Amino acid sequence: MASTIGFRIARLPHLWRSILDRRLAPLGLTQTRWVTLYHLWRMGEGHPQCDLARAIGVEAPSLVRTLGQLEEQGLVERRACDNDRRSKRIYLTPAAMPLLEKIDSVAQQARKEMFAGLSEENLEQLNEWLAVIEANGLAIQARDQDGPAS
C-alpha cells in the first residue's frame, strides 16, 4: 500500500492541471500562462520575478518568456524595482481581473468535483498528513544538501 501512495501523490498535480487545461482552453490560455497569472494573483502584486519563478517552480528565463507573452496580451506589466533597476516587479493589469475570476471559478468547480465524497474533516486530516509528508521531505532535502547520504 505505502509503495503506491507516492505514485498517486505524484500523479495528482498532473491530473489537476490536465483537468484545468481542458476547461480553460476556451479562454485561449496555455497552461504556462494561466499558472503564471494565477500564482501572481494569489501571491499579490509587486513581487520580483525571481519570487514568482520560485513559487511556480520554473527557471527565471522560462518565466521571462511567459511574462513577455502575458505583457503582449495586456494582462501583466513589469516595472523596475526602485532599489535595483535590474530586477523587475510584476503587476496585473485591469484586463487580467475578469480572466482571473473565470480561472478561479473553474478551479473552484474542479476542486469541488475532485474532493467529492470527502467531508470537511477528511480534507483537514488530509491537509495535516500532507503537511507532515512535506515537512519530512524538506528535512530530507536539507540534510541531503548538507552532505553525502549515510
Domain membership flag for residue 129: no
Query: Does residue 137 lie in a domain region?
Result: no
Q: What is the reported pTM?
A: 0.76
Residue 114 pLDDT class (50, 70, 90 cuts): very high
Query: In sequence order, what are the residues at sequence separation of 6 or more whose Cβ sits closer than 8 angstroms to the Cβ of residue 24?
Result: 34, 103, 106
Q: Would 88 be classed as within a structural domain?
A: yes
**132 located within any domain:** no
Identify the band that residue 149 occupies on the pLDDT scale cut at 50, 70 and 90.
Answer: low
Report if residue 25 sits inside a domain.
yes
Q: Which amino acid appears at position 5 of this protein? A: I
Residue with cell 535595483: 84
Amino acid at 10: A
Domain count, the chain: 1
CATH (domain of 70): 1.10.10.10
Range of the domain at 89: 19-103
| pLDDT at residue 80 is higher than 90 | no
Q: Is residue 113 part of a domain?
A: no
Does residue 50 lie in a domain region? yes
Share of the chain above pLDDT 90, in %: 67
Per-residue confidence at 124, pLDDT binned at 50, 70, 90? very high
Backbone angles phi, psi at 13, to 5 degrees: -60, -35
- The confidence score (pLDDT) of residue 148 equals 67
> pLDDT of 49-74, one tens digit each?
888 999 998 988 889 999 999 999 99
Inside any domain, residue 111: no
CA-CA-CA-CA torsion sign (22, 62, 39, 133)? positive
**Among candidate residues 16, 2, 86, 77, the one with its CA nearest the CA of residue 46:** 77
Q: Measure the CA–CA gap between 72 and 66, rounded to whole angstroms.
A: 10
Write down the pLDDT at residue 91: 94
